[in-house]
Amino acid sequence: MKKWLVALFSLVLVFSLAACGNDAKEEKATEKKDVTADAMSFYMDLVAKINDNDADYDAYQAAIGSDTPPTGAELTTLATAASASADKVSQVLADVKVPNLGTATGVFKSAVKDLSDAYAAEAKGLKSSPIDTKSADEAMQKASDTLGKALKDVDLAPSSIMNDTAA
């Protein structure tokens, strides 16, 4: 009789452990889905925050990329407004709180900080005479690439924040 009870309890234990293993797998899958949705929401909010503050910066970028880029006083006026806009974006990004995005949280935090620093460098470069934003542009591209990689790491399509925030 004792052997049957031991065997029965052993079977119950085996099935319990198997059920716990399945629950852990399901929990991991749910956690990954939640992180993916949270990361997408965070990224879209980040794009919106930048777009809410970079109108003059976008206007400057569009003007210098046009067939007849501005010069002289017109360029200076556009660059001054763009610098203030880039500085505002830098401040907004510095205040962004990255939510818990699982193992990708650190990468997102680093990318947002790098993007904030790049916008600050853009603001400074737009104030210089002559205007020099080359290193800031490179830093911005690097931060954008890092954000794209972070999105890919949470099973989202990599995106370019530079493209997503362009006017």
pLDDT by residue for the chain (167 residues), tens digit each?
445 544 444 544 455 555 555 555 544 444 455 799 999 999 999 999 999 999 999 999 999 999 999 999 999 999 999 999 999 999 999 999 999 999 999 999 999 999 999 999 999 999 998 999 999 999 999 999 999 999 999 999 989 999 999 86
pLDDT at 26: 47
SS3 166: coil
**Domain residues of the chain, as ranges?**
30-164
Instruction: Output the pTM of the full model.
Output: 0.79
What are the tokens at 148? 């794209």
pLDDT at 16: 56
pLDDT at 58: 94
Q: Which helix (H) or strand (E) holds 107?
A: helix 105-127
pLDDT at 141: 96
pLDDT at 20: 59
Residue 52 has φ and ψ, to the nearest 5°, of: -70, -15
For residues 36 and 39, give the distance between their C-alpha atoms in angstroms, rounded to a whole number. 5
Residue 93 has φ and ψ, to the nearest 5°, of: -65, -35
Residue 147 has φ and ψ, to the nearest 5°, of: -60, -40
In 10 A of CB 69, how many CB atoms? 11
Report which of 124, 142, 141 is spatially closest to residue 133, judged by C-alpha positions: 124
pLDDT at 166: 85
